[in-house]
Structure 1
Amino acid sequence: MERVRWKRLICNNYATPKSKFIIWMVLHNRLPTVDRIRRWGINCDARCSLCRSEEESLQHLFFSCDNASAIWREICRLMRFDDSGGLYQDVISSACSQARKKKGKLFVMFFTKSVHAIWRQRNSQIFRESCKDTNVVLRDIFFKVATRCTDVERRRLLM
């Protein structure tokens, strides 16, 4: 039987079920990003709703968009993790390998919550035409991770 490499991003992840579901959708390329919606034959603006500069795809929305990049840079700085920027598959691979390490559970929660927060930002921009400031999103991510982690991990966050 073939091993599922990304299972640690879902199993033993203390992030909220909604966040884990969004990660599962990303891993299976099932989120309705604009590039997928257009392939279904639906005519819509191809540009990213957050930066308005490139076509929206999983790669762009979660890893290349200026909005997402600002979030990832801060999360990586906080976790003392090398921010390689990289391609979607490389970032997922890095997250999977981090999940095996001692600090891994905390990183996986941050990764999961960050993807969910970026998706919510995108949807808020599309459906409400409003978007939170990146610092507000980061505080929300930090708070939600801190409320779901253990006391030991919470102390690590405050260091």
Structure 2
Amino acid sequence: MVILDRLPTKDRLARFGLLVDNVCGLCGAGMESRDHLFDDCSFARGVWGAVLNAHGPSFMARAWDERLHWLLSNLRGKTLRVRALKLLWTGFPYLIWEERNHRYHRNLIRSIDVIVNRLLEEVSTEKQGTCKFPCSAIFPGSLSMIYSFYDLAINACLDGQ
């Protein structure tokens, strides 16, 4: 949904004719769109920056397409590092979207550190085979299946270009 820009972000809801304020609920500084929410938003940048600091690469994309291109170029192979980065990338939009929804619907606000720690913890438990990430309930087994969906989605995007 994220890669295909199909999430019901505020900019899309406004295009459907719904009256919504367009302000990002995570940073309060931009219009909520897929590109803003996962790239331009200071909250999301803080999360992704901390994740990259914890796992080595120092690349920070300036735009959604740039990040997607970087992922396509660098997340190849089956090394433990690549597997961990795929899991982190798959969990990142999930947790950002979850945080957005918690703020809108539950009035629950978590810090960047809480999100980063949860993401890193889930990748760590996935390596041990005991992942409890909510996606595991949707896709029985583990997050390993999730990043195979990541690969399918990326290939679908490439076929469409």
Q: State the TM-score, normalized to the length of structure 1.
A: 0.75
- In structure 1, the partner of 2:100 is 122
- In structure 2, the partner of 1:48 is 24
The question of whether the paired residues in 2 share the 8 Å contact of 1:35 and 1:57 is answered with: yes
The question of whether the paired residues in 2 share the 8 Å contact of 1:124 and 1:130 is answered with: yes
- In structure 1, the partner of 2:5 is 29
- In structure 2, the partner of 1:57 is 33
Superposition deviation, residue 98 in structure 1? 2.3
Consecutive unaligned residues of structure 1, counting only runs of 5 or more, are: 1-24, 152-159
> Structure 2: how far apart are the matches of 1:104 and 1:79?
10
1:28-79 Cα shifts (integer Å, max 9, x gaps): 1110111111000001010001111110011110111111011011111112
- In structure 1, the partner of 2:124 is 146
State the structure with bigger RCO (CA 8 A, min sep 6), 1 or 2: 1
Structure 1 segments of 4 or more deviating over 4 A? none
- In structure 2, the partner of 1:132 is 110
AA matched with 1:54 = G
Over aligned residue pairs, what C-alpha RMSD do you find? Answer: 1.4
Consecutive unaligned residues of structure 2, counting only runs of 5 or more, are: 130-161
Superposition deviation, residue 148 in structure 1? 1.1
AA matched with 1:100 = R
- In structure 1, the partner of 2:134 is none
SS at match of 1:37: helix
- In structure 1, the partner of 2:66 is 90
The question of whether the paired residues in 1 share the 8 Å contact of 2:10 and 2:22 is answered with: yes
Superposition deviation, residue 90 in structure 1? 1.0
Superposition deviation, residue 118 in structure 1? 0.5
AA matched with 1:143 = E
The question of whether the paired residues in 1 share the 8 Å contact of 2:30 and 2:36 is answered with: yes
> Structure 1: how far apart are the matches of 2:3 and 2:45?
19
Superposition deviation, residue 150 in structure 1? 5.5
Q: State the TM-score, normalized to the length of structure 2.
A: 0.74
SS at match of 1:26: coil
1:13-42 Cα shifts (integer Å, max 9, x gaps): xxxxxxxxxxxx011111011111100000
- In structure 2, the partner of 1:38 is 14
The question of whether the paired residues in 1 share the 8 Å contact of 2:11 and 2:22 is answered with: yes
